[in-house]
Structure 1
């Protein structure tokens, strides 16, 4: 019984973690909207989540071990998946590929999905507590 509960919570924990990492990536794109030659990056949420769930916290194959806290992180910092450069419909003269409309939409969509996940988790925990308390 406890292993099922752990698996259930681990899924939601991983999903929220990946959403949080994606939010940071999208915020970075927005913050660098005026940086010359900056290339907008994003991840495929479902592939990163799938990879994170299947690695079970183990280091993905091909990554180097960090033996010192001052070592830089590798490019595969999102559950073993490298963030991809976003395809650009129309580039800027300075080489920047950030489209603020796309970034704002993706940022808002990811935020809403994050909040919805939290709401679902809270409701399920309340239901479990009600069942345990016999209400």
Structure 2
């Protein structure tokens, strides 16, 4: 039976693996910083902690963003799209970078006229200095 405190989770359209796609967006600038996945537990923890917790599909475990790097995401607002199958987090990115490559955003590539991907944004910090 659903309680009033968790009923909103039942409205999410979870996929066949029990996941929902999540977009992390800078609350001040509107810049999209990253895309990830959440399961029910990750979304519950995100709402409770006020910090982003994702589900790592490759590691098959919960991943508290910033637990290794210190680059936490303070969640200011949680939204869902009209079909309730995509979650949008309005966040404050602690440490200025969201990407494991040491860049502000995971969306740092741009397509060039020569048909190749070119890095458009600089590395803020060498990942070897971030992850031990």
**The TM-score by the shorter chain falls in which range?**
under 0.3
Report the structure, 1 or 2, having the larger helix content. 1
TM-score of the two chains, using structure 2 as the length reference: 0.24
Question: Comparing both chains, which one has the higher relative contact order based on Cα–Cα distances under 8 Å and sequence gaps of 6 or more?
Answer: 1
Instruction: Decide which structure has greater strand share.
Output: 2
For the pair shown, the structure with the greater C-alpha radius of gyration is: 1
**Length-normalised TM-score, structure 1:** 0.24
